[in-house]
Amino acid sequence: MLQNQDPNRLQEKSVKDYFEEIAMTFDSYYKQEAETGGLIGKLAHLVFRKPAMACRYQAAFQLLGKLPDKHVLDVGCGSGIYSLEIVKRGGSAIGLDISSAMIDLANQNAQKLGIKDRCRFVLQDLKDFEPGAQTFHACIAIGFFDYIAPPQQAEVFARLLQLAKQDVIITFPKKWVPATFFRKIFFLKKKLDVYFFTKPEVMKLVGPGIQETTFYDCGSVWTVRFRKSL
Ligand SMILES: C[S@@+](CC[C@H](N)C(=O)[O-])C[C@H]1O[C@@H](n2cnc3c(N)ncnc32)[C@H](O)[C@@H]1O
């Protein structure tokens, strides 16, 4: 019975179902002709989503720095946009996602670009991922923390830190900006919980294992690099 299930499990299932359903639409947000629905959807896309997505993309690559020879774990990789760019810039990547529709798209996108040899997309939840002998210079989690419920955030953050040799780059949607209001209404209709952050809430994640935290302001979102102490 759904009522008796752990709320964290229910949220994970809702997130998975949601991204199975909207994988193609999400991928289209990176294209000129985005599938945005009606007039309000189009306006919200042009005013809020598109600039935030463009800025967090630019921020993530600036914070990642030079990529040749870097191996990156892209957690919640979606249709593979970041992993593929990492490969184009000379690095290599593993993309993880719980949505099979997203992983299929990521593989198709890699195939189209002819760069399947330096990236791999894995259908797996972060909590089940075992790196084996691989080490990752960095872990990125873009548009991912939005769906992690507060009781899980510290644990998920610790897992990302454990998997990265040097940097963890995460985007956090801001709590008190106009975009938040629209997103809350959007996700209320989808019956999916989404979470927003203040700067002190982001800083609460920072423990003694981190030597430097860099915030890149993207309007409605922060892209944050946590650099581990060596
Ligand atoms: C908003 S999308 C972002 C995709 C991509 N990072 C981007 O920015 O283009 C978030 C993705 O995280 C995935 N995801 C959510 N929770 C996950 C988990 N626990 N493990 C792996 N992937 C997860 C979802 O399936 C979804 O594809």
Q: Please give the mean pLDDT across all residues of the chain.
A: 93
Amino acid (one-letter) located at 139: C
Q: Give the residue among 74, 78, 84, 89 at the shortest CA–CA distance from 22.
A: 78
Q: In what order do the strands lie in the sheet with 210-217?
A: 119-123, 92-97, 71-75, 136-141, 164-173, 221-228, 210-217
For residue 3, pLDDT over 60 is answered with: no
CA quadruple 124, 203, 143, 70: dihedral positive or negative? Answer: negative
The band of 4, judged by pLDDT with boundaries at 50, 70 and 90, is low
Q: Is the CB of 80 within 6 Å of ligand 1?
A: no
The residues, any chain, with a CB within 8 Å of residue 116's CB and separated by 6 or more, are 107, 110
Q: Which atom number of ligand 1 is nearest to the Cα of residue 53?
A: 8
Tell me how far apart the alpha carbons of residues 165 and 153 are, in angstroms, rounded to a whole number. Answer: 20
| Structure confidence at residue 186 (pLDDT) | 84
Fold of 2-228: Rossmann fold (3.40.50)
Tell me how far apart the alpha carbons of residues 103 and 68 are, in angstroms, rounded to a whole number. Answer: 24
| Structure confidence at residue 102 (pLDDT) | 98
The band of 2, judged by pLDDT with boundaries at 50, 70 and 90, is very low
10-40 CB burial, b ≥16 within 10 A, e <16 = ebbebbbebbeebbeebbebeeeebebeeee
| Structure confidence at residue 7 (pLDDT) | 74
Q: Which range (8-17, 132-141, 155-164) has the least confidence?
A: 8-17
Residue having the nearest C-alpha atom to atom 15 of ligand 1: 76
Domain limits of the chain? 2-228
| Structure confidence at residue 5 (pLDDT) | 67
For residue 176, pLDDT over 50 is answered with: yes
| Structure confidence at residue 206 (pLDDT) | 95
Percent of the chain with pLDDT over 90: 77
| Structure confidence at residue 191 (pLDDT) | 86
Q: Is the CB of 143 within 6 Å of ligand 1?
A: yes
Task: Judge contact between 171 and 82, C-beta under 8 A.
Answer: no
CA of 152 to the centre of ligand 1 (A): 15
CA of 206 to the centre of ligand 1 (A): 22
pLDDT tens-place string over residues 71-110: 999 999 999 999 999 999 999 999 999 999 999 999 999 9
Q: Is the CB of 126 within 6 Å of ligand 1?
A: yes
